[in-house]
Structure 1
Amino acid sequence: MKVKIYPDFIQHNEVTIPPSKSFAHRAIICASLSEGVSKLEHIDYSEDILATINAVKVLGAKVEMYDTYLYIQGVTSIKPIGNTVEVNESGSTLRFMIPIFALAGFPIRFVGKPRLFQRPLYPYNPFIHIEYHENEIVVCGYKSFNDIQLDGNVSSQFISGFLFALPFMNQDTFIEINPPFESKSYVAMTMDVLNRFQVEIQYVNEHCILVKGNQRYRATKMKIEGDYSQLAFFATLGLLNDDMKVKGVSHTTLQGDRAFLDIIQRMNGQYQVIEDGYLFCKSHLKSCDIDLANCPDLGPILMVLASKAEGATTIYNAGRLRIKESDRIFAMEEELKKLYVDIESDESTIYIRGSFQYNGDCILDSHNDHRVVMALSILATTLNKPVMIEHAEAIKKSYPSFFDDLKALGISIEIYT
């Protein structure tokens, strides 16, 4: 799919953000492991969420899907009804489900798109028997261990994966996290969702978590809150294009991507708190240094903001962007240079000197990455001439209605399939 986006001003200035993919993954998994039937409200069926739904069905959970909500009848023991799990390109699904399926008692195949298996899984190797093959892995059960030690700067998803599975163990387990402990907010989110399903997890100290064994998940009703990583795209539209009300998010969220609000404040971005969201106002942005350690998903859209800010911006601790759906540093640098953005990078740091005017009139590529598509699309509305973005279907991974929502605001978009 290709999209042609024309420079345009917002005609309608309000959008409601879709549900948090991070919360939805966690809630679906917890519901699938619970006694009883859970109801999860405010669900958006992106490709990643469908991958997690598929995985819990293999666990034996029964899922009834409706337009914006679903019911899940959970399982009380890990006895999968199949031996193959299709995870498409969802890193969250794969990393969260490996420790759970390792309890199955027989080998489980995980299959998906090639790029997914280029992303790190090695933190599981000391604890779980995993066979690595081309475009698939086979999980063969747990190795013998007492406690778990993980590096805190690879991905918090490995910590969360164990948090889901260890309550089924017969013994208590300590998870020790070697500093630096990055993306700690995502672990807090996992613990919050587990608590809603009556699973007890507690910190012993800031780098050690105790997971008690022989626990039972209990079904509950939960509404998934709006996604701050998606808020960032439309907030940026408001800051660069015209004032924008972004609604459907919690002001008290645990989502790490809420850091976007602090970052734009430091960039002179103006916003107001309103009921159910925020009003983002067109602003004269200024450069600042940005630490991406705890909010890597914001990387692409922050590069867009930096390209339109006065002065030189440095984005550091960004190395994990290189192991996402694409190498996001390379992808964004390559595409922004087509627009003559002054951008350079090394392994984990990005340097951008902003300008207020870019021409457009070129063909950009998504690198098959949903966040790259959306970031470039927002920037496209501010250019002097239209651009074409190729492989724009990547949005289906997290936000299938993104272009519909953008068009509803009055942005001129042509879609070619």
Structure 2
Amino acid sequence: MMEIKENLSPVTVTAPASKSLSHRYLIGAALAAGVSTVRHTLESQDLERTRAILCAAGARMEALPPDAADGPSGWRVTGMNGAPRGGDREPLSCDVHESGTTCRLLTAVLAAGQGLFRIHGAGRMHERPIGELTDALEKLGARVCFEQRPGCPPLLLTAKGLDPAPLHGEVRLGMDVSSQYFSGLLLAAALGPAPLTVDLAGRKAVSWPYVGLTLQCLTDFGITFSARTRKNEESPWQTLPEGDWRKLREARPGCLRVTVQPGAYRAGDYTVEGDWSGASYLLAAGVLGRRPVRVEGLRSDSLQGDRALLDILQRMGARLETEADAVTAYPSALHGVALDMGSCPDLVPTVAVLASFARGSTRISNVAHLRVKESDRISAPAQELAKTGVTVDALSDGLLVNGLAGRGCGRQNAPRLPEGLNLCVHNDHRMAMSLALLGLQEPGLRMETRLDDPSVVCKSFPQFWDIWSRLA
């Protein structure tokens, strides 16, 4: 068993750029009139898909000069000065590959344009639902034809702008499966001829903080909107004072509506903040590894939902030090907790691994929609952790992880990788990065050699293994 030296100075690393905001800011810049600079964007396969489709639809993008050894520091974007343009006779090919964010946000944005678009992808993308969003788009004037499975890509989209008039300016849209439906329609709404009110419908609202990031993007790009809330469906609507939408920590169906005014996206100079999702693996490494890890580039006031990792780690007993733009995580003994992770589902694979090293059981709930991500993120962690000796129950809406630490002396009992055992990442970048945590307590173990496809991290964090080599 490794020796943990608590007096070691922290390893300092920088958080990658926010994937969610990189998508949104590049979309905003592409829709603007004039030239924008979008700095510190994430360079990943998902962002390549978003940029390629935006450029095919009328924008131009040029990489900014490299920033030292870190590669491209962002993009100079010449906006399309209006709505996206598709094909006249043949549809414009829009290959989202396996990027759900690209697919859902851009399906709505392209529907606000003109012409024919074919939206298609790879892998599980053709199994991931989008029907609730396309139903709303059709009510606003778009035509959608699914080529294979109903309600899923690939699809043919005939766009002629979004017209709120037939719906008297109001459309209902749920977030039971994905908040990206709601975000995509908000981004598209400003391109219409009249105000559009998007009412939150459905049974529950997952991943609400990501809608907050969309509202932040609209604000930054000069798009006017108002948000109204009410206590219950019998109460009167109350308009939130300007900027108070930032204080919303959750949204309840029937009790939230956002009205977007038509307007032009404003060209300008934008900088993407650090990514709490990507940083989650690095901070977890500080807790499970041999020495502290300090992650720089994280805004303490960020609206990103995965900032919830700080509260989760502290509830599990981790020692953390927070600064205005950095967090340091220290090696810590953990204990099990009950967690509603509906607002931060991308953290579930990481928390499941953390829980494996904890004393007692950890119950993760309100994440049933994880079954339709890049992998089934309920079954996949359960299957892989079971190979290391951890008992994990896959539940209808989450996981029950029985930590190993309580079965012996503190950190002496932990998940183990027997010689010759390799783990499956299920073609999922977040599975690969969370499983990397399993190797931290075995000195010299290179986890990328124990995974069936370590390269899948390129989807969202191409530099992951280079940074990880400094922590292992």
Short-chain TM bin: over 0.9
> 2:218 aligned with 1:197, yes or no?
no
> 2:173 aligned with 1:155, yes or no?
no
Residue number in structure 1 paired with 2:239: none
* Aligned equivalent of 1:27, options 25, 29, 38: 25
Residue number in structure 1 paired with 2:456: 394
The SS at the match of 2:28 is helix
Asked if structure 2 preserves the Cα contact closer than 8 Å seen for 1:7 and 1:381, the reply is no
Residue number in structure 1 paired with 2:234: none
Matched residues, number: 405
In the TM superposition, 1:49-88 aligns within 5 A as 49-66=47-64, 67-80=72-85, 82=87, 83-88=92-97
* Aligned equivalent of 2:427, options 358, 361, 368: 368
* Aligned equivalent of 1:131, options 136, 145, 155: 145
Asked if structure 2 preserves the Cα contact closer than 8 Å seen for 1:196 and 1:220, the reply is no
Residues 318, 210 of structure 1: alpha-carbon distance in 2 compared, 3 angstrom cutoff = closer
Residues 331, 11 of structure 1: alpha-carbon distance in 2 compared, 3 angstrom cutoff = farther
Tell me how far apart the structure 1 counterparts of residues 157 and 321 of structure 2 sit (CA, whole Å).
Answer: 48
* Aligned equivalent of 2:468, options 396, 406, 411: 406
Residues 378, 215 of structure 1: alpha-carbon distance in 2 compared, 3 angstrom cutoff = same
Gaps of 5+ in 2: 65-71, 231-254, 405-412
The SS at the match of 1:55 is helix
> 2:258 aligned with 1:258, yes or no?
no
In the TM superposition, 1:136-285 aligns within 5 A as 136-141=154-159, 144-146=166-168, 147-178=170-201, 179-205=203-229, 207-241=255-289, 242-274=291-323, 276-285=325-334
- Quote the RMSD (CA, aligned, Å): 2.1
Tell me how far apart the structure 2 counterparts of residues 7 and 43 of structure 1 sit (CA, whole Å).
Answer: 37
Per-residue CA deviations over 1:224-271 (Å, capped at 9, x if unaligned) read 111001111011111111211111111110001011111111111110
The SS at the match of 1:327 is coil
Tell me how far apart the structure 2 counterparts of residues 389 and 61 of structure 1 sit (CA, whole Å).
Answer: 38
Greater displacement, 342-351 / 299-308 = 342-351
Tell me how far apart the structure 1 counterparts of residues 110 and 429 of structure 2 sit (CA, whole Å).
Answer: 28
Residues 372, 395 of structure 1: alpha-carbon distance in 2 compared, 3 angstrom cutoff = same
Asked if structure 1 preserves the Cα contact closer than 8 Å seen for 2:37 and 2:77, the reply is yes
Look up the equivalent residue of 2:415 and give its one-letter code: Y
Tell me how far apart the structure 1 counterparts of residues 3 and 269 of structure 2 sit (CA, whole Å).
Answer: 42
> 2:98 aligned with 1:93, yes or no?
no
Tell me how far apart the structure 1 counterparts of residues 125 and 157 of structure 2 sit (CA, whole Å).
Answer: 16
Tell me how far apart the structure 1 counterparts of residues 304 and 377 of structure 2 sit (CA, whole Å).
Answer: 21
Cα deviation for residue 330 of structure 1 reads 1.2
Cα deviation for residue 93 of structure 1 reads 0.7
Asked if structure 1 preserves the Cα contact closer than 8 Å seen for 2:22 and 2:272, the reply is yes
Look up the equivalent residue of 1:145 and give its one-letter code: L
Cα deviation for residue 360 of structure 1 reads 0.7
Asked if structure 1 preserves the Cα contact closer than 8 Å seen for 2:177 and 2:369, the reply is yes
Larger strand fraction of residues: 1
Greater displacement, 76-85 / 181-190 = 76-85
Tell me how far apart the structure 2 counterparts of residues 69 and 295 of structure 1 sit (CA, whole Å).
Answer: 27
Look up the equivalent residue of 1:22 and give its one-letter code: S
Cα deviation for residue 350 of structure 1 reads 0.6
Question: Bigger relative contact order, structure 1 or 2, given CA contacts below 8 A and separation 6+?
Answer: 1
Structure of larger gyration radius: 2
Tell me how far apart the structure 1 counterparts of residues 10 and 330 of structure 2 sit (CA, whole Å).
Answer: 14
Cα deviation for residue 385 of structure 1 reads 8.8
> 2:350 aligned with 1:288, yes or no?
no
Cα deviation for residue 214 of structure 1 reads 2.9
Asked if structure 1 preserves the Cα contact closer than 8 Å seen for 2:11 and 2:470, the reply is no
Residues 385, 41 of structure 1: alpha-carbon distance in 2 compared, 3 angstrom cutoff = closer
Cα deviation for residue 153 of structure 1 reads 2.1
Tell me how far apart the structure 1 counterparts of residues 187 and 42 of structure 2 sit (CA, whole Å).
Answer: 22
Greater displacement, 306-315 / 165-174 = 165-174
> 2:373 aligned with 1:359, yes or no?
no
Greater displacement, 165-174 / 178-187 = 178-187
Cα deviation for residue 7 of structure 1 reads 8.1
Residue number in structure 2 paired with 1:415: none
Per-residue CA deviations over 1:95-134 (Å, capped at 9, x if unaligned) read 0011221133322101210311211101123222321124
Look up the equivalent residue of 1:238 and give its one-letter code: G
Asked if structure 2 preserves the Cα contact closer than 8 Å seen for 1:148 and 1:173, the reply is yes
Asked if structure 1 preserves the Cα contact closer than 8 Å seen for 2:174 and 2:182, the reply is no
Asked if structure 1 preserves the Cα contact closer than 8 Å seen for 2:104 and 2:181, the reply is yes
- The percentage of counterpart residues that share the same residue type is 30
Residue number in structure 2 paired with 1:119: 128
Look up the equivalent residue of 1:240 and give its one-letter code: L
